[in-house]
Structure 1
Amino acid sequence: MDGARIVSLRDVDLFVREMGTDGTSPPLVVLHGGPDWDHTYLLPGLEPIARRRRVVMFDKRGCGRSTRGLGPDGYQPELVVEDLFELIHFLGHEVVDLLGFSTGGQVAQLFVEAHPRKVRRLVLASTTAYGDVAPYLLGWPEYERRLEMSVAQPAWARRRSGEEDDVGRTVQWALEAAPTALWNLSRLDDYLQLLERMTFSGEWGRPFLMGRLHAWRPASPEQVLRDFGRPTLVLHGAYDMTFPVQVARRLCAAVPNSSLNVIDQAGHMAHFERPGEWSSAVLDFLGAERPEERGA
């Protein structure tokens, strides 16, 4: 079952997509990153999960097909936290499993700080609890080589760049980051096709450039996750050039109730490069059977 609808909350309308079948387990609710992206770039990793679990995705405020035009004060991480809390209530769930990817993983930490009883199990994918990631990247020859690479602007990107300055800026950032988003550069064209299907926005970029965004993470993420106390999976690509794998190892060592799964031969977009391993890691952690375990 794959259904999409607009859900009206207190001050925003959210575009919500639900995939998979209903069951006894809590649904897996997903917080995408970007932040000016929509949820669709995560589908390569989430579609296999939806064959065994109910998956709920939504475009954050200002993103995709959700409400835009809220002004600089309408975009703050804590507002996404409350949107998610209201959405869970609207959908009628007492508790959910929560997956946060990249920036969404940092918001997920804020969510369990504010509403720990709403989450049964937490997946932090390709994200960080720390701001000091640069030391792990300095002196990495392959990273420095990737920074010098340029991606030819596809026709779809040129069209979007001419539509609206803020959207064009987001598209340009995505293209510039593409060589460091992947580890396997032979998948670069496929990745650009994935980006082509997305709906970009520029709403979050405005307060960011104005220096008005609040912190994406709790003040003490390690303590928040220790206090949360429930099973937490730290899921990371071995060659992540956005948040290097060292930050994942560091967090897992600091949080007793966490486990670490490192996806080999994958970068920041591990769900795209290695969707089978990535989705199986999530399903195993959540306690669901994989397709091959049922002879599928």
Structure 2
Amino acid sequence: MWSERVVPGEPEIFVAWQQGVGDRTLLAIHGGPDWDHSYLRDPLEQLDCRLLMPDLRGCGRSGRVPEEEYHPDGVMRDLVRVLDEFGVERADVLGHSYGGMVAQRFAITHPSRVRSLIVSGSSVLPVPPDAFAGWTERDEILARQEDPWQREDLSPEECVRAEAFAAVQANIWRPEAIPGYLRRLEDVRFGAEWARPFLAGTLVSPRLPDAAQRIAELGIPVLLLHGKQDMTFPVSLVEPTLKLIPHARAAVLEEAGHMAHVDEPDGYVGAVREFLASS
């Protein structure tokens, strides 16, 4: 049963949450960043633990801030407020895509608040320019993908939404999963608050220098949860990351792309459940 809460402050942060059982709390951080949390609900809602799913500042139903305040440091403060509001001292933290980099930053900057870290459809290491060299199918898919930002008749918010729909084939590997994913996208509250500083060249990346070394030094359990067919963050970065974070483990879903939780929901939630049970 989902509940909703608005965490007071500047800005207000909207949180969808499930009570769950036991004393474990999973804080799930969405990507985009100009999406909301809703595309991640299924299958994470199948977990037994308490689940907190905030909309990042400026996203979904959370409050807006001046353009210069769309900065990862502000997001770190927001996440602390979310945990404090729910009385959570330490949480298991999952971040997907852009949210994966946010989750890493939170673990590094607030280690006392993080029990374990799940990097989902994202990467700890920077993506090299030639990471996808030779992947012809990806090249063909991206070549067919319309770029809505080239259209003058669309607002920035409409561009973000159109981009999400245009990227369906790049994000979903299994054709049979596409209809359900399209229905899921219809319910996402897209915005463009983060896109504006990005287009202006002022957006700061949440990725911290030497993230792998700094996460390794934390000594917390780490799971790299990845779709083998991910066309955004290459699966080839998983093994090098495991060498840099010796206590980390990986779960690679063979028939899944960037939205691995949509392509292989059972495998995805199973990997999360097993990791939480053993960490």
Query: Over residues 187-215 of structure 1, what are the superposed CA-to-partner deviations in whole Å (9 max), with x where a residue is unaligned?
Result: 22321111001100010000001111112
Between the aligned partners of 1:132 and 1:2, the Cα distance in structure 2 is: 36
Between the aligned partners of 1:75 and 1:226, the Cα distance in structure 2 is: 28
Match of residue 82, structure 1, among 77, 84, 94:
77
Q: Structure 1 regions of 5+ residues with no counterpart?
A: 154-160, 289-296
Match of residue 53, structure 1, among 49, 52, 56:
49
**By how many angstroms is 1:64 displaced?**
0.3
Question: What's the counterpart of residue 15 of structure 2?
Answer: 16
Between the aligned partners of 1:164 and 1:147, the Cα distance in structure 2 is: 21
Q: Secondary structure at the match of 1:18?
A: strand
Aligned residue identity for 2:111: P
Question: What's the counterpart of residue 25 of structure 2?
Answer: 27
1:245 equivalent to 2:240? Answer no
Contact 2:177 2:262 in 1 (8 A): no
Contact 2:125 2:212 in 1 (8 A): no
Question: What's the counterpart of residue 35 of structure 2?
Answer: 37
Match of residue 285, structure 1, among 255, 261, 275:
275
Aligned residue identity for 2:126: G
CA RMSD of aligned residues (A): 1.9
Q: Secondary structure at the match of 1:92?
A: coil
**By how many angstroms is 1:163 displaced?**
11
Normalization by structure 1: what TM-score? 0.88
Moved segments of 4+, more than 6 Å: 161-164
Match of residue 207, structure 2, among 210, 217, 229:
217
Query: Over residues 236-295 of structure 1, what are the superposed CA-to-partner deviations in whole Å (9 max), with x where a residue is unaligned?
Result: 00110000101122212210110011011000000011111100100100008xxxxxxx
Aligned residue identity for 2:80: F
Between the aligned partners of 1:100 and 1:136, the Cα distance in structure 2 is: 21
* Counterparts in 2 of 1:28 and 1:163: CA distance versus 1, 3 Å: farther
Q: Structure 2 regions of 5+ residues with no counterpart?
A: none
Matches within 5 A, 1:12-161: 12-24=11-23, 26-49=24-47, 52-68=48-64, 70-150=65-145
Between the aligned partners of 1:279 and 1:119, the Cα distance in structure 2 is: 20
* Counterparts in 2 of 1:150 and 1:30: CA distance versus 1, 3 Å: same
Contact 1:112 1:224 in 2 (8 A): no
Query: Over residues 19-50 of structure 1, what are the superposed CA-to-partner deviations in whole Å (9 max), with x where a residue is unaligned?
Result: 142413x200111100000000011221222x
**By how many angstroms is 1:136 displaced?**
1.9
